[in-house]
């Protein structure tokens, strides 16, 4: 994973989320049955993974547990389970995939970002592992009103319960516009957009989200009954198509790389043969990453809401990383019986199909507008001689509830480390969280539960701990990611008349510095253009864009560049 570090007066400030780097700064394990590995076409899939990730192969004969000791010793950051469709069964997901990645060490949490690399045949799997290693998830298409399209740069969400209703998120807005002039039966409309024929933005779909009744080879479009709408179906060898309420079927053929997310569909992630939805979406629908339940989804389901939270609502982790971290939070909430969680049945009930190291994420930086993330996040590392002092801190960007709010709502803040730490060396020295969990590869803060008031914008929660960082020599050699801009601080703060906001660039790049009030409304743009490398101070006079003096209160300056989105709090006192 990239070490996105900025060195400032002996302090390492690491701004997350992180992606993959071109170098092999991560460990990737391939787990495959030796019989499958002996087939030339599947061996080619493995060879391609080795080339892409400098991966290490672990083979098994009877079951994957034969590899556990060796894989645990390897301490992978990513695990790709290479499986033929007959090997990627619901039983495999529930009884092998999930338990395996939680039992690579002594704690109960998942220990690696993992995925099942499969398809109708080896050709599909090969296409995934030799295709794009990074996916920019800009354009959302929702077959459900629960797709949160406002958290994407652009997209269309449709309503599964109200005929003709849909929601458009335009590129220059943070809100959606509701329309009621859509078709009664959305089947052909959605298929056309997936196939790239009629999306109003002129762009192809990067993520498609569904909810409602589903099965291994069916998505019922209307909810709760099928009503006057059709179905998405799959059969045969990867045949994927829309079956309208009336009229002929329409095939789904969409080579554009995308995520398919069965947010609230029962069994839509089950893989038993090449005619199931998952391999069919991989074969003909362009799904490089497919996520769906292998069990009946219900009112207390948890995993998919957690994935959505860490992908778009409060973090911008990559899709596979969000899927893994969501399960970490799931384990925590189950173990601590956090208020409101109920009895979710899906701890091991969802499958992720695709290469887990595909860096599929929502883009950040200038030129992208979407609803504000719940909080900003920093990881600060003070390097020591024997032990480092590490602080994980979040700053609320708006009023909100950073904890379990509903099956598809927010979750507790979590930070995946870009390094490993010795779990026996961890000592928490300061925190204002209710509970902090520090593992060898992540930190989680439990800071809100149902029944409490929302945290206000500007509120901060942190945990500071000491630990021995594994791989310190490598960490010290990493330089700042090109194009990164960092807010070094502002002075004075609080201020009465004006504040100087100091920023640092590690190369000449385009930056934008804006000020927002605590309600998220744009107050003023302080700079929008090319800036030279080095340190620069920009002055804000406490006025809005019309030169009107603003009232005392909390404001936020937001810095964006090609590799940075960072927000800092300013306090104006008149």
pLDDT tens column, 52-79: 999 999 999 999 999 999 999 999 999 9
**Is 452 a domain residue?**
yes
Task: Read off the pTM.
Answer: 0.80
So what's the pLDDT on residue 381?
Answer: 82
Predicted confidence (pLDDT) at residue 20 exceeds the cutoff of 90: no
**Is 537 a domain residue?**
yes
**Is 292 a domain residue?**
yes
| Pair 250, 344 in one domain | yes
So what's the pLDDT on residue 484?
Answer: 61
Inter-residue contact 449 to 403 (CB < 8 Å): yes
Predicted confidence (pLDDT) at residue 239 exceeds the cutoff of 80: yes
| Pair 125, 139 in one domain | no
Q: With helix as H, strand as E and coil as C, how does 291-302 read?
A: EEECCCCCCCCC
Predicted confidence (pLDDT) at residue 24 exceeds the cutoff of 70: no
Helix and strand numbers (H, E) in the chain are 11, 37
> Of 199-203, 268-272, 412-416, which gets the smallest average pLDDT?
199-203
Mean of all residue pLDDT scores within the chain: 89
| Pair 286, 182 in one domain | yes
Question: Structural domain of residue 409, as residue ranges?
Answer: 5-19+373-477
**Is 427 a domain residue?**
yes
**Is 368 a domain residue?**
no
Please identify, among 108, 130, 152, the residue that sits at the C-terminal boundary of a domain. 130
| Pair 495, 562 in one domain | yes
| Pair 145, 280 in one domain | yes
**Is 229 a domain residue?**
yes
Higher pLDDT, 183 or 517: 183
pLDDT band at 461 (very low <50, low <70, confident <90, very high): very high
- 107 exposed, middle or buried (CB, 10 Å; 0-12, 13-18, 19+)? middle
pLDDT band at 203 (very low <50, low <70, confident <90, very high): confident
Specify the CATH number for the domain of residue 91: 3.40.50
| Pair 334, 210 in one domain | yes
| Pair 106, 139 in one domain | no
| Pair 87, 204 in one domain | no
- Cβ burial 478-513 (10 Å sphere, 16+ → b, else e): bebbebbbbbbebeeeebeeebebebbbbbebbbbb
Specify the CATH number for the domain of residue 472: 2.60.40
Q: How many Å apart are CA 99 and CA 109, to the nearest integer?
A: 10
**Is 343 a domain residue?**
yes
pLDDT tens column, 149-164: 999 999 999 999 999 9
**Is 367 a domain residue?**
no
| Pair 170, 255 in one domain | yes
Please identify, among 450, 477, 504, the residue that sits at the C-terminal boundary of a domain. 477
So what's the pLDDT on residue 519?
Answer: 72
Predicted confidence (pLDDT) at residue 82 exceeds the cutoff of 50: yes
| Pair 109, 138 in one domain | no
Specify the CATH number for the domain of residue 564: 2.60.40.4070
pLDDT band at 26 (very low <50, low <70, confident <90, very high): confident
| Pair 495, 538 in one domain | yes
Q: How many Å apart are CA 190 and CA 197, to the nearest integer?
A: 10
* CA-wise closest residue to 530 among 401, 415, 366, 391: 366
Cα maximum dimension of the chain = 74
- Cβ burial 169-197 (10 Å sphere, 16+ → b, else e): bebeeeebeeeeebbebbbbbbbebbbbe
pLDDT tens column, 267-314: 999 999 999 999 999 999 999 999 999 999 988 999 999 999 999 999
Cβ contacts of residue 80 below 8 Å, gap of 6+?
28, 29, 30, 31, 49, 55, 114, 115, 117, 129, 355, 356, 357
> Of 123-137, 176-190, 401-415, 559-573, which gets the smallest average pLDDT?
559-573
Q: How many Å apart are CA 116 and CA 112, to the nearest integer?
A: 13
Q: Which helix (H) or strand (E) holds 188?
A: helix 187-194
So what's the pLDDT on residue 14?
Answer: 41
Inter-residue contact 358 to 133 (CB < 8 Å): yes
| Pair 246, 284 in one domain | yes
Domain count of the fold of the chain: 4
Please identify, among 459, 477, 495, the residue that sits at the C-terminal boundary of a domain. 477
């Amino acid at each position: 994973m990239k070490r996105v570090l900025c060195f400032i007066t002996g302090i390492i400030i690491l701004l997350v989320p992180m992606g993959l780097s071109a170098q092999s700064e991560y460990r990737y394990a391939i787990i495959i049955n030796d019989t499958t590995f002996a087939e030339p076409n599947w061996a080619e899939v493995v060879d391609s993974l080795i080339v892409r990730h400098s991966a290490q192969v672990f083979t098994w004969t009877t079951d994957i547990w034969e590899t556990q000791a060796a894989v645990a010793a390897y301490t992978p950051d990513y695990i790709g389970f290479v499986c033929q469709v007959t090997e990627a069964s619901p039983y495999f997901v529930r009884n092998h995939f999930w338990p395996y990645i939680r039992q690579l060490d002594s704690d109960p949490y998942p220990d690696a970002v993992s995925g099942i690399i499969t398809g109708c045949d080896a050709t599909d799997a090969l296409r995934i592992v030799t295709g794009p290693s990074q996916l920019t998830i800009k354009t959302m298409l929702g077959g459900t009103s629960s797709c949160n399209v406002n958290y994407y740069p652009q997209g269309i969400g449709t309503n599964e319960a109200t005929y003709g209703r849909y929601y458009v998120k335009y590129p220059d807005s943070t809100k959606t516009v509701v329309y009621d002039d859509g078709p009664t039966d959305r089947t052909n409309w959605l298929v056309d957009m997936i196939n790239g024929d009629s999306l109003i933005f002129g762009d192809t779909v990067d993520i498609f989200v569904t909810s409602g009744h589903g099965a291994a080879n069916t998505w019922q479009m209307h909810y709760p009954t099928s009503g006057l709408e059709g179905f998405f179906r799959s059969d045969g060898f990867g045949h994927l198509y829309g079956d309208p309420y009336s009229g002929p079927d329409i095939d789904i053929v969409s080579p554009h790389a995308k995520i398919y997310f069965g947010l609230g569909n029962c069994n839509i992630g089950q893989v038993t043969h090449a005619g199931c939805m998952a391999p069919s979406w991989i074969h003909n629908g362009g799904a490089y990453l497919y996520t769906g339940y292998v069990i009946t989804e219900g009112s207390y389901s948890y995993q998919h809401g957690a994935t959505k939270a860490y992908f778009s609502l409060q973090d911008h982790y990559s899709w596979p990383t969000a899927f893994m971290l969501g399960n970490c939070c799931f384990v925590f909430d189950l173990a601590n019986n956090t208020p409101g969680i109920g009895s979710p049945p899906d701890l091991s009930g969802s499958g992720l199909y695709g290469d887990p190291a595909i860096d599929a994420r929502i883009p950040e930086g200038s030129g992208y507008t979407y609803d504000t993330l719940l909080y900003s996040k920093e990881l600060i590392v003070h390097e020591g001689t024997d032990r480092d002092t590490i602080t994980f801190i979040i700053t609320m960007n708006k009023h909100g509830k950073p904890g379990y709010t509903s099956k598809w709502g927010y979750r507790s803040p979590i930070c995946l480390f870009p390094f490993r730490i010795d779990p026996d060396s961890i000592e928490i020295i300061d925190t204002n969280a209710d509970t902090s969990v520090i593992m060898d590869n992540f930190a989680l803060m439990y800071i809100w539960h149902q029944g409490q008031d929302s945290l206000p914008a500007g509120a901060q929660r942190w945990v500071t701990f000491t630990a021995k960082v594994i791989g310190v020599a490598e960490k010290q050699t990493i330089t700042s990611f090109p194009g990164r801009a960092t807010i070094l601080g502002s002075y004075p703060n609080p201020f009465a008349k004006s504040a100087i906001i100091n920023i640092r660039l590690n190369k000449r790049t385009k930056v934008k510095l804006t000020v927002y009030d605590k309600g998220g409304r744009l107050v003023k743009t302080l700079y929008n253009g090319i800036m030279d490398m080095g340190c620069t101070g920009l002055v804000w006079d406490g006025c809005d864009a019309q030169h009107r003096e603003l009232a005392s209160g909390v404001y936020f300056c937001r810095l964006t560049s090609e590799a940075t989105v960072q927000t800092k709090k300013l306090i104006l006192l008149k």
